[in-house]
Amino acid sequence: MSEKTRNRSERWHCGARRVCPKCIISNLLTSVFLVEGSGALAQQLTRNSFSMTVGQTLRREGDPFQGLILIRKGVLKTFMISEDGGEQIIDFRFPGELVGLSAMGTGEHMACTIALSAADVCLIRAEDLDDLCNTYPDVRRRLLELTAREVARREHLHQALCGTRAECRLAMALLNIAERLGVATVDHAISFQLPMARVDLAAYLGLTPETTSRQLRRWESHGWLHTRGRDFTIREPDVLHALASRHSSDEEGVHRLARGDSECQWSPDSGLGTDELAVNRR
């Protein structure tokens, strides 16, 4: 980076290569709460921003509700500890998403939340949230809407986890993660970095890491997917979608779709694009 460019970027001007935290938060707030001109408040919120290192704990079970966390960068997981010491992953949270909605009801968190990667987050304190609601009357409505969407998303998840087999759950999860990461489809393939360890992914889906691994390798042998460590490439999104929407025995459909194995040439939009879990964002 040239000296000149760096100088410019240090002025934190918005819209450039590097943007100021205030602007990022303002933009996020705007996109999350759908209100314009929350700049002043954003400035205030900037003071509540902080970074997290890998594995750092945001909060534990039983902690009181302090406010919502807006994720600017990084991925978090929230989980409960079962008595045998195992972690039951409740959810992963991605950039642009809010953490802590469920604690608004009781005023107490019932799960632990930690960072899976280096993360930048911003605490919207309960008081500030109230201010925001008062300044912009639509915010409370919007907050209710977001929470309701969360309920809807979890209802879909219920269906996904109860009604389906490992293969199907895993396909759903991968597609959902890719979507929430906001990765683009290039050349009919989706590449992304899996933000969590496989144990976590497995625990989230109610599976063991072994089953997860086997499933992935099977897909790899079909050429539908390629993994190298945490680098994932979904080579055949359509096949994965088909697997994800397959609720029980329907070997037919998938293999009809996958005929020709490694490199197939069906029309790009085969009408199979159900987005099962993709309900939490607008």
Query: What is the residue whose two structure tokens read 């930690």?
Result: 114
119-178 residues in contact with DNA (CB under 7 A) are 165-167
Amino acid at 153: R
Amino acid at 245: S
Does the footprint of its own copies cover residue 86 (CB under 8 A)? yes
- Structure token pair of residue 84: 């045998």
DSSP string, 47-75: TTEEEE-TT-EEE-TTPBP-EEEEEEES-
Does the footprint of DNA cover residue 250 (CB under 7 A)? no
Binding piece for its own copies, criterion CB under 8 A, among 9-17, 20-28, 177-185, 241-249: 241-249
Does the footprint of its own copies cover residue 104 (CB under 8 A)? yes
Find out whether 125 and 88 touch, Cβ atoms under 8 Å. Answer: no
Distance CA 216, CA 109 (A): 34
Distance CA 190, CA 212 (A): 19
Q: Which does 181 bind (CB under 5 to 8 A by kind): its own copies, DNA, none?
A: none
242-281 residues in contact with its own copies (CB under 8 A) are 245-250, 279
Query: What is the residue whose two structure tokens read 């002025």?
Result: 11
∠ CA(34), CA(93), CA(226), 5° rounding? 120
Distance CA 176, CA 237 (A): 12
Q: Which is nearer to its own copies, 132 or 203 (CB)?
A: 203
Binding piece for its own copies, criterion CB under 8 A, among 13-21, 147-155, 210-218, 261-269: 147-155
Report phi then psi at 228, rounded to 5. Answer: -140, 105
Instruction: Give the three-state DSSP class for 251.
Output: helix
Q: Which is nearer to its own copies, 32 or 203 (CB)?
A: 203
Does the footprint of DNA cover residue 191 (CB under 7 A)? no
Does the footprint of its own copies cover residue 1 (CB under 8 A)? no
Q: Which is nearer to its own copies, 84 or 269 (CB)?
A: 84
Q: Which does 103 bind (CB under 5 to 8 A by kind): its own copies, DNA, none?
A: its own copies
Which of the 8 DSSP states describes residue 11? Answer: T
Residues binding its own copies (CB under 8 A): 80, 82-84, 86, 88, 90-91, 101-106, 110-111, 140-141, 143-152, 154-159, 161-163, 203-206, 245-250, 279
Residues binding DNA (CB under 7 A): 165-167, 197-199, 206-214, 216-217, 227-230, 248-249
